[in-house]
Structure formats: structure tokens, C-alpha cells
Copies of this chain bind each other. A is one copy, B any other.
């Protein structure tokens, strides 16, 4: 049989569950701005500042010293020890056998999901939410129910009873992200306690994405937002996910970690082997520098972010039709403005017409429609330039 006799294949496609995953609406907006000069991008969840030099130097030194080999699946021992110390310091006694290093915070979420959910399992998530938490379980064949936060005079709030009633006995996993991307909502310790007790009773796993824990502004004395690690025993059905991206400005390094029951670690090690095998050796060395020498940097960063948040809230509040509140955590304002009922179209128009890059609320689920997300992790001059562009746009489009 010659090749020309063979039937011409249709264009190959991914399986249906993958095709149904949400593409990034932020990317769609960024594409709409392709060719626009001088865009001011506030759409990604990333500071405009480079990683601190002492962390970059640590990686370069590790490279010079030849740290270019495979490492243990769960991470190099000194980094696991440094993280155990860091977590202990923030949230109480945590030994190294509860710590695993991962290839990014999102990789930690994927690994956590692989640990506990498979095809047909029921997962619950609180939304609006960074899409990754909702989409990851679907890759594994699970189905995801959402419980929406409410928006009102207090900003974004959780109806605890609604969440508890969604956590039915057949629920396998609750995925939570607090401080929250995109809303800045922070779950209170009281709410966490109620959820934890409910999940204990029903044997429901909790995956808590706490990558923004240090970006918390509601209590000047608190070094972190309330965490499930403050309440849960280390051997309960709670998997806490964290990342180096936010507290040490290491987005492009793809380094994260997991705090989980020691009884999971052998299986987690297998999953790391089959996903990425380990994080790069010299990246892990840089992680040690971040954890051990980065505390003063992180504290200054959080102070700077609070200044930026307050500055942006003030500036946006002065614009007509904008409803914005200062949220207690993360690095975003998630606010409403004229035209945001079609947030994707609005954001495309904003980038095309005035070169302002913000993320559409609908990127974070249907519950996010009516809002846009603005990442304020930059200096106030840059924020002012962005607000001026928004003002120009609104003056042009909103009847006075």
C-alpha cells in the first residue's frame, strides 16, 4: 500500500475535555492589543520589577559551581529544611517530611489535584477565581461546582452557609484561593475553621492555594493572611500550596512548594517524578537564598504594594461610574466601571483605543462579569499613567 492510497486524516484534535478547557481571555485581550504602541500592561499577575539581585546571584553561583544535575523528586534537602523553618515561623511547627518542592505554584496545584481526584469526582471551588484552579480538575476528568462570592458595600464576601451546603458528602475536594485572585477577598480564620470542621466530618480534602498569603494588608501586625496551616494538623486532609512568585518576585522561575500530610509524600514523590521529576537544581538553590535572606525584602514589598493599592483606589474612585474598594489581600483591584457588563469587549477596546491593559472579569468565571482586574504591583507613577488613560477612555465613551 503506498502512502497515497491512505485516507487523508482529518486535522488532529485534542480530546474533548481538553478542547473544552477555557483559553485565557487575558491572552485574548493582549492579542487584541498586538501592534498597539506603548501599551501599559496591568493585566498579568506579575510585578514589573526584576527578581532581587541576591536571588539571581545565588542561581548564577549555583550554576558556576555545577548544580546542573537531577535532584530528589521532593526537592533538595537544604531547601526543604529552609521551607520547613519558614512555614514553622509563620504557621507553627512543620517538619521537613511535610514539605515538597514543586515546579511552580500551578504545578503544585496540578500535583495536589492528581493526588486526590480522578474521573467523575466532585470538586467545589469558590469563584471568581484564577481559572487554573477550576480547570485543573477537569483535565483529570473531575467535575467542578462553583460557589460565588457576593459583591456589596463590604466588597467581596463569602456566604459561608452556601459554601457548606455545597460541600456534600460525595464531594472529594474543595479548592480555595485566599487571599484571592482576582478579587483580593481574604477568608477569615472563623470561616476557615467552620469549613475545616465540616470537611473533617465528611472526609473532604481541602487544597488551599495560599500563594498570596504574604500580600495581606488588613492587619499591620500580621505577617500573613489567615491560613489553614494555622488551624489544621499537619496530617489532616489539607494540602497547602505556595509559590516563590509573589513574595520574592520570582514569577519567571517556576518554583513553588506544598505542605501536606507526611503520609502523602511517597505518592507525591511519584507524581513529581511523572510530571517534571524535580525543579531545576540551581533554581532550588536560589529558593534557599529567597527564604533565608528575603524577609526584609518581602516586608518592604508588601508595604510598597499597600501604598500602590491605596493610591490606585483613590485615583480610580475619582473617576465617574467607577466602583472600587480596597481589598484586604493579593495585588489586584477587581472593580466595576461603565461598560464592564461586557468586560472582554471593554478590555479589548481599552487596549486598542488608549493602550491600557487590564484583565476582563469574565476571565475568572461568569461570576466575574461586570468587573475588570488591575494588577497594581508597580510604582504609583505608572498607575497614574494608567488611570489617565482610563479617564480619557471614559470621557470619550460615557455620556457626561
A binding-site residues for B, Cβ under 8 Å: 1, 3, 6-7, 9, 11-15, 17-19, 21-24, 44, 46, 50-51, 56, 59-60, 63-64, 66-71, 103-104, 106-107, 110, 114-120, 132, 135-136, 139-141, 197, 200-201, 203, 205, 235-237, 249-254, 261, 263-264, 266-271, 273-283
Q: Within the complex, which residue of B3, B18, B273 is in contact with A114, where a contact is CB–CB below 8 Å?
A: B18
Of B56, B116, B197, the residue contacting A14 (CB under 8 A) is B116
Closest to A262 in B: B11
Residues in B with CB closer than 8 Å to A120 are 119
Tell me how many chains of this kind the complex includes.
2
Q: Is the CB of A271 within 8 A of B11?
A: no
Contact residue among B9, B60, B66, B275 (Cβ-Cβ distance under 8 Å from A110): B275
A-B contact pairs, 8 of them (CB 8 A): A3-B197, A13-B264, A18-B115, A50-B69, A59-B282, A119-B141, A136-B274, A252-B278
CB contact under 8 A between A280 and B261, given known A63-B60, A203-B9: no
Let me know if A63 and B68 touch, CB within 8 A: no
B51 touches A251 (CB 8 A): no
A267 and B18: CB pair below 8 A? yes
Our pick among B22, B264, B276, B281 for the contact of A276 (Cβ within 8 Å) is B276
Cα of A72 to Cα of B13 in the assembled complex, Å? 21
The interface centre, meaning the residue of A7, A66, A106, A277 with most chain B CB atoms within 10 A of its CB, is A277
Decide yes or no: A276 and B106 within 8 Å by CB, A9-B237, A50-B68, A235-B11 being known contacts: yes
Residue of B at shortest CB range from A22?
B270
Q: Distance in Å from the Cβ of A52 to the closest Cβ of chain B?
A: 9
From B66, B250, B254, contact of A50 by CB (8 A): B66
A104 to B274, CA, bound (A): 11
Q: A117: nearest residue on chain B (CB-CB)?
A: B15
Q: Is B12 in contact with A237, judged by CB distance below 8 angstroms?
A: yes
User: Are A274 and B66 in contact, CB atoms less than 8 angstroms apart?
Assistant: no
Residue numbers in B under 8 Å from A50 (CB-CB): 66, 68-69
